[in-house]
Structure formats: structure tokens, C-alpha cells
Structure 1
Amino acid sequence: MAIILITGGARSGKSLRAEVRTRAFPEQPVYIATAEALDEEMGERIAKHRARRGKDWIEREVPLDLVQALIETDGGGARLVDCLTLWLSNLLHAERNWSHEASLLADALARQRSPVIIVTNEVGFGIVPDNALARAFRDAAGILNQTIASVADEVEFVVAGLPMKLK
């Protein structure tokens, strides 16, 4: 069993890195998508990811109930969660208690039998946002990433397609 957190900036190559890491485990990989195609541009992004991965993945679309999806898919192939940051955004939009959900996720990850590879965005490198909502999201993402990194067996930071092992 392994919990691997892969973080980095936008378009850093973290999703591709996570796909490679997930495929390295035996059995059919499971892709747990937190994104929703709420507009045409996001639909195109999702289609590009699917085309790149190919058809050998089991897919689950899970915008909110990530913990339940991990429980239901445990015991088979490695699971790739892409991405934790979109999951956080979904939780905030649904007015769910993201901090409680993060604790539930950390607890669930500690009990997994099959590997879980998690993609997340590092959002704290930019300038301080000019509005309260954006600052609250940035802060929540940082806390969520720290929470999951603390229970992960490995943490990688990807820059320009190059992974750096942090843990």
C-alpha cells in the first residue's frame, strides 16, 4: 500500500506524472475524477485527459464524495485522484465543511489497502489575492495539502515536468 501526493503548479506535468506512477502498480488502474464539465472549456480539458490516458482505466466521477469512492474502490488496482484542489473547490461551492472532509479523507487514506496517488495544486507561490474569497481558498488549499502530505508515504513536487521527491 502507498499513499503518494503529487503537487505542483498549473501545467507543471503533475497529472502525467501521477498517471505514470499509477500505471506502475499491478492491476487495472482506477481514475477518480473530481472535475465536472460545467462549461465547454472544462469539457475539452476532461476530453484531453481521457484521450491521453487511453481506455485501460476504470473511471469514477466524484465531485464531492471522495472518501466513499476510495472505500468502494479499495482492494483492486491503484487509484488516481485528480485533483484534490478541484475537490476542495467543489466542497466550498456546495457549502460543505472542507476541514471536516479533509480530516475524513486523511483518516480514510490511512486505512486503504490499495495504493492511492493524489494530484493537487500548489497555490501559495503567487501574489496574495486581492479578495477575501480567493485568500480563503488559497489558505484552505494550503491546509488541505499539508493535511494530506502528513499522512502520505511519498510527496513529489513537479516543476516543468520534472519530479522532485520531498518525502
Structure 2
Amino acid sequence: MRKLERIIVALNAWALIVMLSAMALVVGANVALRYLTAHSLPWADEAARYLMIWMTFGGAGLALRVGGHVAITNLHDVFPTPGQRLLRGAIVLALLGFFVFMVWVGWTYAQRMQYQVTPAMRLPFFYVYLAMPVGFGLLILHLLMIAKPFIMAGDYKGLKGDAAQGETLPGGANG
């Protein structure tokens, strides 16, 4: 199971690296063309925008995994250890419910947008809006992978913990 988890995390990280690289190449090429030839790629801004949307939703699960989202711990710190565990369990259940709801909302919205196309690339908006259910699906996956250590000890299955066992993320990043 741990091997599957490492594979999922690595694939998620590599997908983000590929999207960021593609965005940098498209924007860089567009800037170079604009200054060298006085012409630009008509689809570059649109492609960069949609890649940014996909990176945002795709990276949210990795940020959740390492505790990178905003957290307010005032209430949590007031409770004794058993109360803290109950509160963290309630938080995980609430997040899970919200994420499932957002997968449904995102899928519904993506289906509604399937017949409209983007202005420059003529890509069906379905693929743009598909980032939402895919991203929230990844959030569910990452939440389930960190739920037990988070509920029991308030720990995240951070990337540093993985690196301590000789594992690294693509590109050598360890958190």
C-alpha cells in the first residue's frame, strides 16, 4: 500500500512539473516571438491560463498532504489529546464530505460546458472545467492517505518524512 501511495504522489508531482514546464515554455516562446518578430501566439495566454487552473487543482492535494493549507488551531489547542483527536476526525469527515460534493459539482459543471469551446484554441470547455472534479478527487485521495496519522497525532505524511526514508520527489524536491 505504501508503494502505491509513493507512486500516486510521484505521478501527481510529475504532472505538476510537466504542466509548469509547458506553461513556462509557452509564455517564454510567446514573449520571445513578440519581441523578435512583433507577432505573438494567439493561443498562448489561453493555454497558460488553463494550465494554471489545472496546476492549482492538481497541486491542492499535495499541499494538503504536507499541511500547506491555512489552518487555525486555537480551538484545537484548548482540548486535551482525546478531544483533539475527535476534532481532527470531525475535520477529516467534514473535508471528505466537502470534497465529494465538489467532485459532483465540478463534474456537473464540466458536463454543462462540454459544447462550448475556448475562443483561441477551440478546445471544449469540458476539459478546462474537468480540472475541478479531478483536483477534488486527488484531494480525496491525499486526504485518505494522511487521515490516520493526522487524526491520531496531528501529523501530516509530509514529504520530509518520505525523504527521511530515502525517497524523493521528482526533481529532488523533498518539501
Larger strand percent: 1
* TM-score, normalisation: structure 1: 0.31
* TM-score, normalisation: structure 2: 0.30
User: More relative contact order in 1 or in 2 (CA 8 Å, sep 6+)?
Assistant: 1
Larger helix percent: 2
